[in-house]
Amino acid sequence: MRQATKRIKIIREAKTRYATSDVREIKIANRRFLLRHPTPYAVKSLKRDVLLYEKYAKHLEAERKGEYVAIGLDGALVVGPKHVDVLIQAAEKFGAGNFALWKIGYDYELAWRRL
């Protein structure tokens, strides 16, 4: 118990930033995104993915809201009700990192760590 108290004091004395203070708000195409620890690559890929969604998948909102879509860099789409199935099909079709994964009709992009 004493060690935990000492750690808290050290963090407070050093004025270490917590994870919530590293959140940055970015607006792209009238949408607001919050990125934790944004890197230049993360911001660039988010902008690319938002533009892909606006250009190729926006029209799906009326008939397929709530489903998932993977958008390839060339505009090809993979749509389905389960995000895992869409992710696996998109990775096979486009290759890792060459597509954006979104929930149709919602203002956030899906991210994953591994396939």
Classify the phi-psi angles of 100: left when phi > 0, otherwise alpha if psi is within -120 to 50, otherwise beta: beta
pLDDT at site 12? 47
Pairwise CA distance, residues 72 & 70, whole Å? 7
Q: Comparing C-alpha atoms, which of 21, 24, 19 is closest to residue 43?
A: 24
For 30, the token pair is 């009238």
Average pLDDT, stretch 14-25?
58
Q: What pLDDT band is residue 7 in, cutting at 50, 70 and 90?
A: very low
Band (25; pLDDT cuts 50, 70, 90): confident
Other CB atoms within a 10 A radius of the CB of residue 39 amount to 9
Residue 21 has what pLDDT? 55
* Mean pLDDT computed over 9-29: 60
| pLDDT tens digits along 28-73 | 888 888 887 788 888 898 899 999 999 999 999 999 999 999 999 9
CB 110 within 8 A of CB 70: no
Single-letter amino acid code for the residue at 102: W
- Phi/psi for 86 (5° steps) reads -65, -40
